Amino acid sequence: MKLSRRRLLQSGIASAALPLLESTSSRAYGQTPATPKRLIVFFHPNGTHAGAWFPTAGSTPDAFTLNRIHADPLAAHKSDLVFFRGIDMKCTALGPGEPHQRGMAAFLSGRHLLEGGFVGGDGSLAGWGSGITLDQRVAQALGQGTKFGSLELGIRATGGEVRHRISYTGANQPLPPQNDPRLVFNSMFSNLGTPGEDAARLRRRRASVLDGVRNQFSALSTRLSSVDRQKLEQHLTLVRDLETRIAAGDGTASAACNKPGTPPALNTNSEATMEQISRLQIDLTVMAMACDLTRVASLQYSNGQNHIVFPWVNSPMDGHALSHVGNTDPAREQIVARDRWYAGEFAYLLARLKSIPEGNGTMLDHTLVLWGNELAEGNSHSHANMPFVVAGRAGGLRTGRYLQYNGVSHNNLLVSLLNLLGIPDTRFGNPDFCTGPLSGFA
C-alpha cells in the first residue's frame, strides 16, 4: 500500500516552510539567548548489509561516496553526515544474554547486561541493562527545565523485555517507547497555545494536586522494607520533578513553534500504517524541540525480535528471518530495501530539522542525531564494525566525513557526543571499554 504525498499532508501535521524571523523567533520561544543543544537517537534493528551500507572512501575523509542504501535518500544531506567504519560494541563481550539482548542495551549504555530471568530469542537468560543510556545522561544535563526531560517514541516498537528496550535511566530502569502518535500529541501539545490566564490556572491547580500527592507519600504510615522505601522515594522524586516541569509550562506558539494537527487514531502495530506513523512521530519530535518542550528524543523502529514485514518495498519476509539469510542469498536485497527506507526516514528527519531557522543556521546546526543498531550483521550476530551514523553540528562538529577506525570501542563515540553537547564526562558506560573521546571525530 503506497503512501501518497497527499495522504501524508492530510495526516494533519503542518510542515510548512517558515519565514526567516531568526532573532525575533528565538525570543518568542521564551528561551535563554543561547540556543539549546539537542540529541535525537534513531534506531533500527537486526543489523544491515555491509556491502551496501559503508561508503566508498576517497583520498580524504570528506571525499567519500555514499553506498546503495544511502545514495538516493541522503544525497541532499551528505554534507551533514559522519559515517564510521571500524567501531565495535566491545562491551558486549561481558555479561549474559544472547546478541540481540546484549546489543539492545549496549547501543546507548556502553555496558553489558545484568543477570536475570529474561529468555532471549533463543532461550538464553539475561536481565536488564546495567547502566544509564546516552540519551538519559543528556536529559539529565540539558533537560531539567523543559516540559519533558526526554521523549521515547516508537514505530512498531512493541514488546516489554530486554530485546525491546534501548533507553535506561539507570541499571534495571528501562524506559518504554510510546508507539501511538496520538498519545504523544495529547501529552506534548494539547495545552500549547492555551491563553495565559487559563494556562496559569491549570498550572496552579496541578501544583496543588501534586502537593496533595506528595502529602500522601508523607502520610504513609506503613513501615516499609528498605527496598520499598527506596522505590517510593524514587517515585516521590519523580513527582517533585514533575511539579518543577509543570511550572516550566506547556510552551508558547511562535514562528517556529506551532501546534500540530491532532494525529488520527491508527493501528499502531501494522505494516499498513508504519510509513504514516513514522512521519507523524518524526514531526512530533521536531516540533516538540522547536517549541523547546524537550531537547532529547529517541525514535525506535521495531525491536530486536523484528517480526515485521515491509510490503511497500516488496519485502514480505519476517524481519528476523530475513536478517538470517546467507551472505550470498539474493534475499539480502530485501535488507537493502528496508534499510534504504530507514535512510529515507532519517533524511526526512534531517530535512525537517533543516527547515527550521535557528541562530545563524537551522535546528540541525544545534542538534546531534545518532543512528544506530543492536547488531552490525544479522546472520552472524556480530557487534563489530557497527553501522553508526551521526548527523548535525551541535558543538561545532565537522560533518561530511567518512572516518575509519581499527576496532575502537563505541563507548568513545558516546563520550564524544556528550562532549559535543557540552557535557564534560571523560568516560561513559563501562570504563574498561572506554579510553575517552573518539579520536579524530570532534
Partner 1 sequence: MRSWHRFWRHNPAFVLALCGCLGSSTPSVSLGADKDATDDIHSETQALACQAEPGEARLLTREEYNTVVAELLGDTSAPARVLPSENKVAGFENNASSHQVNPNYVRSLMELAEVLSTRALAQQRSHVLPCEPGPSLTAEQCAQRFIETFARKAFRGAVSTEASAALLEVFRAGAADGSFDAGISQVIEVVLQSPNFLYRLEGEADASDGAARARIAPAEMASRLSFLLWGAGPDDELLDAAANGRLSESSDIEAQAQRMLSSPRTRARVASFHRQWLHTDLLDGLAKDAATFPGYIPSMQRAWRESLDRYVDDAFWSGGTLSSLLSSNTTFVDATLAPLYNVSPPAAGTFVPVSLPANERSGLLTQPAMLSMLAQPDQSSPILRGVFVREKFLCQPLPPPPANVVIEAPSPDPNATTRERYSQHSANAACAGCHRLMDPVGFAFENFDGMGRYRTTENNLPIDASGEFLGVNDPALSGAFVGAQALSSRLANSRTVSDCVALQWWRFAMGRIETKNDTCNLKKAQDAFAQSGGRFDALLLAIVRTPAFRYREVTP
If the CB atoms of residues 22 and 271 are measured against partner 1, the closer one turns out to be 271
Q: Which grid cell sits at 180?
A: 501511538
If the CB atoms of residues 296 and 390 are measured against partner 1, the closer one turns out to be 296
For residue 311, the 8-state DSSP code is G
If the CB atoms of residues 156 and 393 are measured against partner 1, the closer one turns out to be 156
CB of 16 to partner 1, least distance (A): 29
E strand or H helix at 277: helix 274-290
Euclidean distance between CA atoms 390 and 56, whole angstroms:
17
Euclidean distance between CA atoms 100 and 116, whole angstroms:
15
If the CB atoms of residues 307 and 398 are measured against partner 1, the closer one turns out to be 307
CB of 228 to partner 1, least distance (A): 4
CB of 413 to partner 1, least distance (A): 21
E strand or H helix at 357: strand 357-358
CB 402 within 8 A of CB 79: no
If the CB atoms of residues 186 and 439 are measured against partner 1, the closer one turns out to be 186
Q: Residue type at 199?
A: A
CB of 416 to partner 1, least distance (A): 26
If the CB atoms of residues 3 and 213 are measured against partner 1, the closer one turns out to be 213
Give the up-direction half-sphere exposure of residue 360: CA atoms within 13 A in the CB hemisphere: 3
Beta strands in 182-327 (DSSP E): 296-301
If the CB atoms of residues 3 and 242 are measured against partner 1, the closer one turns out to be 242
Phi, psi of 190 (to 5 degrees): -60, -25
Q: Who's near 423: CB < 8 A, 6+ residues apart? A: 137, 138, 141, 142
Euclidean distance between CA atoms 253 and 259, whole angstroms:
7
Q: Which grid cell sits at 192?
A: 500549547
CB of 24 to partner 1, least distance (A): 31
Phi, psi of 295 (to 5 degrees): -125, 5
Q: Residue type at 148?
A: F
Strands 151-155 and 296-301 turn out to be parallel
CB of 431 to partner 1, least distance (A): 21
If the CB atoms of residues 36 and 97 are measured against partner 1, the closer one turns out to be 97
Q: Residue type at 62?
A: D
CB of 400 to partner 1, least distance (A): 33
CB of 10 to partner 1, least distance (A): 22
SS (H, E, C) 324-351: CCCCCCCCHHHHHHHHHHHHHHHHHHHH
If the CB atoms of residues 21 and 331 are measured against partner 1, the closer one turns out to be 331
CB of 91 to partner 1, least distance (A): 14
